[in-house]
Amino acid sequence: MNKVTNALVILLGLTSAQAADPNLLGTKLTANGANPAASADGVIPAYTGGITTPPAGYVRGQDHIDPFAADTLLYTITAQNKAQYAARLSAGQNAMLARHPETYRIDVYPTRRACALPQFVYDETKKNVTRAKLTENGNKVAGARIGVPFPIPKNALEVYWNHNFYWHGHRFHAVTSGANVYPNGSRTKIIREDWRYNFYADPQGPNPKHENDQFHWLGIWKAPARFNGSGFSMTNTIDQLQKPRNGVMFDPNTRKIRRAPPNAVTYDGPMSTGDGLRQNHNMFVFSGAPDRYEWKLLGKKRMIVPYNAYKAAATTTPRAGLLTPNHLNPDYVRHEEHRVWVLEATQKPEFNMVQARRVFYVDEDSWIFLMSDIYNADNELERVHHTFTKNYYEAPACIIEFDAIYDVASGRYNVDHIKLDHGPADLDFDIEPSDFGSSALKRKVGR
């Protein structure tokens, strides 16, 4: 921990004194707030702008061509040699290696800092340096729009909100095909069609009517069978203490729309299709009000993390081949060494959270939570949460392409947002705010 803390002191020696200077972006820092320099040993390269144009042969709407398909594997970490790489591994990675010593491994490839964003997003991010503020005891962000609100962060909650507001377009559509996977090899397929309208990222905003609304989200399930035809239309709010996320749900058995009770869609309410593996605030790794945790910024360090998941997300990757017992098939999972911010969230004494302590590893280039280690009230590691990101270079935008949450003890795991059967998401789908709500949900499920 001392090395991590020392790294934080060095970093914040710059940011504490100069956080109000937007001119750091694009000079001493990248336009999104990362360290642009290569590591001293050259393992992490200098940032040169990421991928801003699609490779030759790419067809919009079809699989993304893997720009790094020709990369050579550098080394593999296993249960037998993991001690050699201990300084670069999370507690969750170590636990997975120990729990599944014969099958779990970490294949490490050259580090590719591929993330990029449109220039208008960088422009707004620069403006956020002086206009964004934490309000309501850190439960709300005011003044920011489009880009991450705190590209030069001073504390843990600012990093937390950067993850929640990372740019991935403002009109989103995808058909996802997740799964619950069991140690005996059985899989429950989960198909959901998603539409999202992101008010925070709207280039025409801000809209005063939606000042506390982050995004609308409408989803319709097609599988598993007992959820076929179920749907929801929710509004994810920013300050969820002021107004919890809210909306309606459709039950195909009764053919009725009902209002979603707040306790079912906030905090640690279980996700309906997650078989007890995923809670509401596990969506997008952590989604919801941060108020029940004490947040600490533990520093910045070099870690081996999942990255550039073009192969794992391709429609040519077989479901049965990827979704193997106990964990994703390492043959399809790429890891790289990157610099990450480390956050720790520990439940406040007055609350009794099922996930009592959580450690997050935050990509410096995208601000996405790449990994999370989840502990129970006895400080035992119970869940390991990994995200798999890639650059949608047609936008460009680095996004969470899918994520997997593992139950360490049982070997069960849940995968969400993966597009294996249906192709990539559309980050600029033709959809408007009027396409959400109870009437819109009725129209969708009635098709």
Per-state percent for the chain, helix, strand, coil, to nearest 5: 20, 30, 50
CB 180 within 8 A of CB 277: yes
Residues linked to residue 190 through DSSP beta bridges, in sequence order = 178
The DSSP annotation for 343-362 comes to: EEEEE-TT---SS-EEEEEE
Alpha-helical runs (H) found in 177-322: 262-265, 310-313, 319-322
Instruction: Please give the torsion angle defined by the CA atoms of residues 30, 34, 37 and 43, in that order, rounded to the nearest 10 degrees.
Output: -130
Distance CA 24, CA 150 (A): 13
CB 335 within 8 A of CB 383: no
Q: In the chain, where are the structural domains located?
A: 2-445
Distance CA 84, CA 206 (A): 50
Distance CA 269, CA 272 (A): 9
The tens place of each residue's pLDDT in the chain, 447 residues long, gives 434 333 344 344 444 444 469 999 999 999 999 999 999 999 999 999 999 999 999 999 999 999 999 999 999 999 999 999 999 999 999 999 999 999 999 999 999 999 999 999 999 999 999 999 999 999 999 999 999 999 999 999 999 999 999 999 999 999 999 999 999 999 999 999 999 999 999 999 888 999 999 999 999 999 999 999 999 999 999 999 999 999 999 998 888 899 988 777 888 888 889 999 999 899 999 988 999 999 999 999 999 999 999 999 999 999 999 999 999 999 999 999 999 999 999 999 999 999 999 999 999 999 999 999 999 999 999 999 999 999 999 999 999 999 999 999 999 999 999 998 899 999 999 999 999 999 999 998 875
Q: Domain 2-445: give its CATH superfamily.
A: Lipoprotein localisation LolA/LolB/LppX (2.50.20.10)
The DSSP annotation for 71-131 comes to: PPP-EEE-TTTGGGGGGG--HHHHHHHHHSTTT--EEE----------HHHHHHHHHHHHH
C-beta atoms surrounding 206 within 10 Å: 14
CA 260, 262, 265, 271 torsion: positive or negative?
negative
Distance CA 112, CA 72 (A): 12
Residue 136 is classified by DSSP as G
Selection from 343, 341, 342, 337 nearest residue 303 by Cα: 337
Token pair 């590209």 is found at 151
CB 387 within 8 A of CB 371: yes
pTM of the model: 0.94
